[in-house]
Chain A
Amino acid sequence: MTVRPRRLVVAFVVVVAALVVAGCVDPPQDFDRAGAEEYGLQGSLIEDALAKPDVVFTDTEGRPYDLRTETAGELTLVFFGYSSCPDVCPIHLGTIADAFQKADLDGGVPNMVFVGVDTARDTPEKLRAYLDRFDSRFVGLTASPEEIDRAMAQLLLPAAVIDPEGEGGDNYRVGHPSQVVVFTPDDRAHIVYPFGATREVWVDDLPRLERIDWEDRR
């Protein structure tokens, strides 16, 4: 008996689909295409909304900074990066800074919180000088590497990679989550924006995020 290749392919697809439905295989991030669009948004919905991390950071003035109290009830964007990052970080920050100017917002300028994962190099002073190039209102935070990893884990973000052994000297390799996590005024993160979100995406979505009623997503 021979089995035609097409049937094998169909069988394979059915098996994979069944595994995904059964939760045995984690779907890639772009598996379900409904999500954010239902809310008129362009990011990627987080399956279960997340609370703000319970980590107490230190801001660029050296003061303790608790996201839960400092940003309570306010639209807040959180991004983990490092100041010597020449590609992903400045593009996110520059794009968001410009969108903050152009978006039609009622509740004032949202909080943009940048957590520096490269704690050895990114001192509070260096973070401040870096963020001032984009918008002096941007908040720069540091913490111990363990606390930063704990915050990222609570936000279901991949852990940072710091590899001082890599290239040696001051030129080592850093890996960081490329997505921006958005906390809406209900103090929950329902959505993240992947790298590549343009100014137009933010200008469209920020006013919606400011006013959104997540209804049954709490």
Chain B
Amino acid sequence: VEIGPPSASSPPPRVVASRLTRAGLLVLVAALTCLAACGSSSSESTPEGPSAIVVTDPVMPEPAGTSAAVYLTITNDGGTDDRLLSAEAEASAMVMLHRTEIDDEGLATMDEAGPLVVPSGGEAVLAPGGDHLMLDVPEGLAVGDTYEVTLVFEQYGEITVDVEVVATEDVLR
């Protein structure tokens, strides 16, 4: 899809930096520092063997209709790269791996994403405004409920997780 400018006559939005973006940068720097530190402390034991997948913090913001998103973190403690191929849920007709992209002008678009790589010794983060699972859910899911979702990996195979339904306002940290 071609995405044109708002209109030929209007100038592009000029917005000035924010504490928000700076905070984001700080978090990124902190995360990288942490990663570097963790990497060096465990450098003697590089992960070996097959893919070893662990899924943490699977959450679904309380759905405001029948479409919902799932966010989670996938860690691979094994010595082999793996890929998340697909996901399924018994009560959902479709579960798709989606990617939200936000461009320089702030335009958010969402597309189906291909298999998601989870590198050996690394992680893949499914988070708001980025990669996530999009699925249809039955009406009536409420905060505190859990929803079973199965993730299918190329190497590791299937892993089923209980996704916790949480208040939407608690998703962004």
Contact residues of A with B, CB < 8 Å?
Answer: 26-37, 41-47, 83-88, 90-91, 93-95, 97-99, 129-130, 133-134, 149, 152-154, 156-159, 161, 163, 166, 173-179, 192-199, 201
Chain A minimum-CB-distance residue to B109? A175
Chain A minimum-CB-distance residue to B9? A153
Contacts A175-B3, A178-B106; is A130 near B18 (CB within 8 Å)? no
Contact residues of B with A, CB < 8 Å?
Answer: 1, 3-7, 10-24, 61-65, 67-69, 98, 100, 102-111, 128-129, 132, 134, 167-169, 171-173
Bound-complex Cα distance A154 to B7 (A): 10
Contact of A194 (CB < 8 Å), options: B1, B21, B171: B21
- Could you give 30 example pairs across A and B, Cβ below 8 Å? A26-B12, A30-B21, A33-B16, A36-B19, A37-B18, A37-B19, A41-B18, A42-B19, A43-B18, A44-B15, A46-B13, A86-B68, A87-B98, A87-B129, A88-B102, A88-B128, A88-B129, A94-B171, A98-B169, A99-B169, A129-B65, A134-B64, A153-B7, A153-B10, A157-B6, A166-B1, A174-B109, A178-B102, A193-B20, A197-B20
Min C-beta distance of A44 to chain B, whole Å: 4
Min C-beta distance of B145 to chain A, whole Å: 15
Min C-beta distance of B72 to chain A, whole Å: 14
Contact A35 B18 (CB under 8 A): yes
Bound-complex Cα distance A197 to B61 (A): 16
Max chain B C-beta neighbours (<10 A), residue from A26, A90, A134, A197: A90
Top 7 closest A-B pairs, CB basis? A94-B168, A35-B16, A98-B169, A178-B108, A44-B15, A156-B13, A175-B109
| Further contacts, 4 of them, CB under 8 A, given A36-B18, A156-B13, A163-B1 | A41-B18, A93-B64, A157-B106, A194-B102
Chain A minimum-CB-distance residue to B107? A158
Chain B minimum-CB-distance residue to A99? B169
Min C-beta distance of A79 to chain B, whole Å: 11
Contacts A87-B132, A95-B168, A98-B167; is A29 near B106 (CB within 8 Å)? yes
Contacts A44-B16, A201-B20; is A161 near B69 (CB within 8 Å)? no
Contacts of A31 in B (CB 8 A): 16-17
Contact of B129 (CB < 8 Å), options: A35, A98, A152, A195: A195
Contacts of A153 in B (CB 8 A): 6-7, 10
Contact B134 A42 (CB under 8 A): no
Contacts A88-B128, A94-B167; is A176 near B107 (CB within 8 Å)? yes
Contact A159 B4 (CB under 8 A): yes
Chain A minimum-CB-distance residue to B22? A33
Min C-beta distance of B158 to chain A, whole Å: 23
Contacts A90-B64, A91-B61, A163-B1; is A199 near B15 (CB within 8 Å)? no
Contacts of B67 in A (CB 8 A): 84, 86
Chain A minimum-CB-distance residue to B2? A161
Contacts of A86 in B (CB 8 A): 63, 67-69, 98, 132, 134
Contacts of A176 in B (CB 8 A): 107-108
Contacts of B65 in A (CB 8 A): 83-84, 129-130, 133
Contact of B14 (CB < 8 Å), options: A47, A129, A195: A47
Contact A156 B11 (CB under 8 A): yes
Min C-beta distance of A123 to chain B, whole Å: 13
Contacts of A199 in B (CB 8 A): 169, 172
Min C-beta distance of A23 to chain B, whole Å: 10
Contacts of A193 in B (CB 8 A): 20
Chain A minimum-CB-distance residue to B134? A86
